[in-house]
Chain A
Amino acid sequence: MPEKIQLLPGVTLTCVPTGKFKTSCLSLNLIAQLSADTAAWNALLPRVLRRGTTRYENMDQLSAALDELYGAAITPVVRKIGECQCFGFYSEFADDDFLPAGERVLEKVADLLGELLLSPATRGGLLNREYVESEKKNLIDDIRAQLNDKTTYCVNRLTSLMCQSERYGIDKYGTEKAVESISPIKLTKYYHELLETVRIEIVYCGAARPERVRGAMERALAPLPRGAVSTFPVADVRIFPQEETVREFHEELDVNQGKLTMGFRMGPCMYTPNYAGMLVFNAVFGGDVTSKLFLNVRERLSLCYYASSAVNRTKGILLVYSGVEPAKFQQAYDEILAQLEAIRAGEISQWELTSAKRGTVNAILLSLDSLGGLEARYFESAVTDMLLTPEELCGLVDAVTAEDVSAIAKSVVLDAVHYLRGKDGGELAT
């Protein structure tokens, strides 16, 4: 059973014991409220810190140290959970069992994580200017690179347009302009303030006993200054769209395949959210290959190469994303809504319901059999204070009825639609 340990005020360690893997992971995450003012700062900070510490001043020395730890990896990460921006480091390293006798990597990785966070390479008390400037450029490159994967790009575009007056519409990397305005002086000041007040969530998945992890992390974080830890809600849920008519956004890029992306509010069902019900609803609608979108929009009508849905339970949003020829945009749009209408009307066969539940339970259990999946699940639970264990969640999924699914479909309201088509009119050359 996972164990939660409070290390310091506002610093929690979640230990997930498992002997299944040959490597372990340890993530150190700072949790801030998503905000247009600080998103870029938070996204930049782990990258700058990852460039060097007082002991290992540059990337060469850090890389060599990690190689010596049998190829341990420490990567800067930024995640968005609801309206929280979670940023820090994810590390993965070999389990002692597979190393020459007496080698202990966990403690050394924990020390390194602590150094990266608390003892950065500085010049005259400021974060190294060269590192700050070069990581600003890299972050801007990454912000621009979101354009390269068109599916993710469209999902992000729709999210930011649909939620333009909400925190949720802020990109986890911030904006190019905000990144450009950061100076080493301002970043250093911000960094020191942050350390005192920020909530920190640490997750360990691996074979070591919780006591050992606790000891290692307590030592690594001993110099962490602690003031009043800031608290805030995970997300501000908007039940209904802001405008009465569906907002439409059109965009043209040099692409071969069109994309249709639709955003819904989960609606009044968010007053008493039924997480298991939402998972099953999503699997029936478009989350799985037994879903209505897959079987009808893609397979039966061949309208799309893919058409899938995803529910964000924390923010109460449903997204449908599909790859469609622009000439068929209207037909695909109508059919996607017709499938939602069918669920509202209770047209859910026993086969659909059973397949959706099995698929959902399978996906939950599968996530526990991969190290990254395990970390992601327990990290999200820690941030959102979810008390359900995966096993309990599976039990609740089993109990979901067709009426539950239909009720959720009835609650859902279409808010905004994004169309991406190729230049030159939209009819594609074949």
Chain B
Amino acid sequence: MASLRLKSYENVGEQLYTEQLPNGLTVQVLVKKGYSKAYAFFATHYGGADRRFRLAGQWIDTPEGVAHFLEHKMFDMPEGNALTMFSENGASPNAFTSSDITAYHFQCTDRFYDNLKILLQFVSVPYFTQESMDKEQGIIGQEIRMIQDRPGSELYYNLMKCLYRDNPIRYSVAGTVESIAQITPQVLYDCHKVFYTPSNMTLCVAGDVDPERIVSMCLELLPGQPGEVPVRDYGPDDGKAPCLPRLEKAMQVSQKQFAIGCKGDPLKRGREFLADSVLLDLAADALFGTSTGFYTGLYEKGLLGSDYGAGFETVAGVGHLLISGQSDDPDAVLDAVRAGLDQAAVNGIDTRTFQRVKKAAYGHILKRLNTFEMTCYGLADGYFNGFEELERASVLDKITPDQVNACYRTVFRPENFAMSVIQPITKGDG
């Protein structure tokens, strides 16, 4: 076990053990003393956007919703349901699928290694039957209906449809009732084979645990050989301009909801990915965050409420500025966004504002490190994109006002904005 590497990130008080196993799996363990809880997060670099990929020299196209469907079905094991086994051990298991990550995780305060064994086993061994597939189509059909009743989700995907012409992040991760009807056991086996190979995965653990024991369990329980490295296709580069300026939908909501977006440049891998995303997020926060004059001004005018957020989101190799909230007049908010940006491009950010926003951003990084869930997600995302999550604070520290100003002049351009709006259903509709 000589190859376990320990790195300390003293500014944020964290110590991370990492090791890449011969089968290609990267294990990351954050030792946290004083916690009774331990958390394991087993993730594959595979999500709703990975619909077209190459297997054994052939390109394969899959329906919308396969990654999420697969996530549901992975819990089936020949000896029963993994959820139940975790619960028998007092653990709280769960899983999620995003556009580019599927992760299985549990937290527990007792029997950590028994639970870890279940996690490693059920995620690495596919077991699907037609009967259980049929049943799952009913359950996921219900989940899709529930998601369709969530204004936030409709708002987001409509914005993605405005921003991206070809990138599959424009489609809901869960798929549609029609698309999931096309999924067969063979599709699931193929996708598992391609994307659940250890070299496409990482195991992240946080808690008062023994890294060596975790590594030896991985060696014992997981396949020994690395699989074929998957090649995915997100379609051609969409360019900076949105493909639609606006989409609207009427739903049973109380007030208009909006999401405003603007694409950034495609992201590079590695430390540059981290540097760019921290910079763009700080730039978004400094101009449109809740402590800015932009927000407080619109709040005082009654155009924005407390349900509001602004930031830079990175997903499936692309990134975009995202500003969302509720407002009686989303167009006035969009106008203010454009005006704020025009002004910032000319005047730049003042040094005092820059310094205080940076201090606040540091506090927010500390807050994220309080939760094992956010930290492990960051470790996995970092591994898949080639950066070290725990360097986030050091990267932030080096950002200069000039870099932020350059974002206003060249990255976020007023002509590249798009907006999605959910309107309340008025009487007489539908």
A residues touching B (Cβ–Cβ < 8 Å)? 19-23, 58-60, 63-64, 66-72, 92-95, 97-98, 130, 134, 137-138, 141-142, 144-150, 253-257, 288-290, 295, 298-299, 302, 304-305, 323, 325, 351, 354-355, 358-359, 361-363, 365-366, 368-371, 423, 428, 430
- Cβ 8 A contact of B37, one of A21, A63, A71, A369: A369
Q: Select one of B92, B360, B367 contacting A366, CB under 8 A.
A: B92
- B190 close to A (CB within 8 Å): no
Q: Is the CB of B149 within 8 A of A22?
A: no
B370:A254 contact, CB within 8 angstroms? no
**Chain B contacts for A58, CB-based, 8 A:** 296, 300
Complex contacts, B363 vs chain A, CB 8 Å: 23, 69-72, 93-94
A305 x B143 contact (CB < 8 A)? yes
A-B CB proximity, top 9 nearest: A71-B363, A358-B90, A71-B360, A144-B254, A63-B291, A305-B142, A70-B363, A256-B145, A67-B356
A148, B151: Cβ atoms closer than 8 Å: yes
Chain B residues within 8 Å of A98, by CB: 11-13, 366
* A108, chain B: closest CB distance, angstroms: 13
B149 touches A355 (CB 8 A): no
Given the known inter-chain contacts A22-B370, A365-B109, A369-B37, please indicate yes or no for A295 contacting B84, CB distance below 8 A.
yes
Bound-state CA distance A68–B358 (Å) is 9
- Are B37 and A366 in touch, CB under 8 angstroms? yes
Instruction: Contact check, A365 vs B37: say whether CB atoms are below 8 A apart.
Output: yes
Q: Contacts of A371 on B, CB cut-off 8 Å? A: 370
Taking a contact as CB atoms under 8 Å apart, the answer to whether B145 and A59 are in contact is no
Contact indicator A63/B142 (Cβ below 8 Å): no
Q: Name 20 interchain pairs, CB-CB below 8 A, sorted by A.
A: A21-B370, A60-B293, A68-B356, A69-B363, A70-B363, A94-B362, A147-B253, A150-B149, A288-B87, A289-B86, A302-B135, A305-B143, A355-B87, A355-B88, A358-B88, A362-B90, A362-B109, A362-B110, A365-B36, A370-B371
Asked if B425 CB lies within 8 Å of chain A CBs, one says yes
Bound Cα distance A96, B356 (Å): 17
Q: Of B42-50, B217-225, B302-310, B313-321, which stretch is located at the interface? A: B302-310
Asked if B35 is an interface residue, CB under 8 A from chain A, the answer is yes
Give which listed residue, B36, B252, B305, contacts A369 with CB less than 8 A.
B36
| Nearest chain A residue, comparing its CB with the CB of B352 | A64
Q: Which residue of B lies closest to A371 (CB)?
A: B370
A393 → B minimal CB distance (Å)? 14
B244 within 8 A of A: no
B13 touches A22 (CB 8 A): yes
A127 to B251, CA, bound (A): 37
Given A98-B366, A254-B251, are A299 and B108 also a contact pair (CB < 8 Å)? no
Chain B residues within CB distance 8 Å of chain A: 11-13, 32, 34-37, 81, 83-84, 86-93, 107-110, 135, 138-139, 141-143, 145-146, 148-151, 177, 251-255, 290-293, 296, 299-300, 302, 305-307, 326, 356-357, 359-364, 366-367, 369-371, 425, 430
Distance, CA A98 to CA B371, complexed state (A):
16
Q: Contact between A290 and B296 (Cβ–Cβ < 8 Å)?
A: no
Question: Do the beta carbons of A70 and B359 come within 8 Å of each other?
Answer: yes
Query: In the complex, which residues of chain A have a beta carbon less than 8 angstroms from the beta carbon of B149?
Result: 150, 255-257
Query: Which residues of B sit under 8 angstroms from A21, Cβ to Cβ?
Result: 370
A142 to chain B, nearest CB (A): 7
Give the number of residue pairs across the A-B interface with Cβ within 8 Å. 173
A145, A254, A325: the one contacting B326 at CB < 8 Å is A145
A71-B359, A71-B364, A299-B81 known; A369+B35 contact, CB < 8 A: yes
Chain A residues with Cβ below 8 Å from B108 are: 362
Q: B300 to A134, Cβ gap below 8 A? A: yes
For the complex, give the distance between the alpha carbons of A290 and B90 in Å: 10
Instruction: Name the B residues within 8 Å of A71 (CB-CB).
Output: 359-364, 367
User: Could you tell me the distance in whole angstroms from the C-beta of A255 to the nearest C-beta in chain B?
Assistant: 5
Contact partners of A134 in chain B: CB under 8 A: 299-300, 302
Known contacts: A66-B360, A68-B356, A305-B146. The answer to whether A147 contacts B300 by CB under 8 A is no
Contact between A147 and B252 (Cβ–Cβ < 8 Å)? yes
Q: How many Å lie between the Cα of A325 and that of B307 in the bound state?
A: 31
Q: B15 to chain A: closest CB distance in Å?
A: 14
**Also in contact, A70 and B12, with CB within 8 A (given A20-B35, A138-B306, A325-B142):** no
The minimal Cβ–Cβ distance linking B10 to chain A, given in whole angstroms, is 10
Indicate if the CB atoms of B302 and A137 lie closer than 8 Å: yes
Q: Measured between alpha carbons, how far is A324 from B83 in the docked complex, in Å?
A: 22
Closest to B422 in A: A148
* Bound CA–CA A19/B361 (angstroms): 22
Q: How far is the CB of B252 from chain A (nearest CB, A)?
A: 4
Residues of chain B lying within 8 A (CB to CB) of residue A149: 150
Q: Which residues of A contact B142 (CB under 8 A)?
A: 257, 304-305, 323, 325
Residues of B within 8 A of A145 (CB): 253-255, 307, 326
Using CB atoms, name the residue of chain B closest to A364.
B109
- Chain A residue at smallest Cβ distance from B36: A365
Which residue of chain B has its CB nearest to the CB of A103?
Answer: B359
* Contacting pair B252 A64 (CB below 8 A): no
Tell me if A290 and B84 are in contact (CB < 8 A): yes
CA of A109 to CA of B287, assembled, Å: 25
Smallest distance from the beta carbon of B370 to chain A beta carbons, Å? 5
In the bound complex, how far is the Cα of B107 from the Cα of A232, in angstroms? 39
Are the CB atoms of A142 and B88 closer together than 8 Å?
Answer: no
Cβ contact within 8 Å between B255 and A141: yes
Query: Please, how many angstroms separate the alpha-carbon atoms of A138 and B326 in the complex?
Result: 10
Q: A290-B84, A362-B90, A365-B37 are in contact. List 14 more A-B contacts (CB 8 A).
A: A70-B359, A70-B366, A142-B306, A145-B326, A147-B252, A148-B254, A149-B150, A254-B251, A257-B145, A305-B142, A358-B89, A359-B92, A366-B92, A370-B370
Write the chain B residue with the least CB distance to A299: B81
Query: In the assembly, what is the distance between CA of A333 and CA of B306, in Å?
Result: 38
- Complex Cα–Cα for A257 and B147 (A): 9
Greatest chain B CB density within 10 A among A147, A257, A304 is at A257
| Complex alpha-carbon distance, A321 and B362, angstroms | 40
A-side contacts of B90, CB under 8 Å: 355, 358-359, 361-362
User: B139–A255 contact, CB under 8 A?
Assistant: no
Nearest residue (CB) in B for A256 is B145
Contacts of B139 in A (CB 8 A): 298, 302, 305
Q: Is the CB of B430 within 8 A of A289?
A: no
- Residues of chain A within 8 A of B430, CB atoms compared: 254, 423
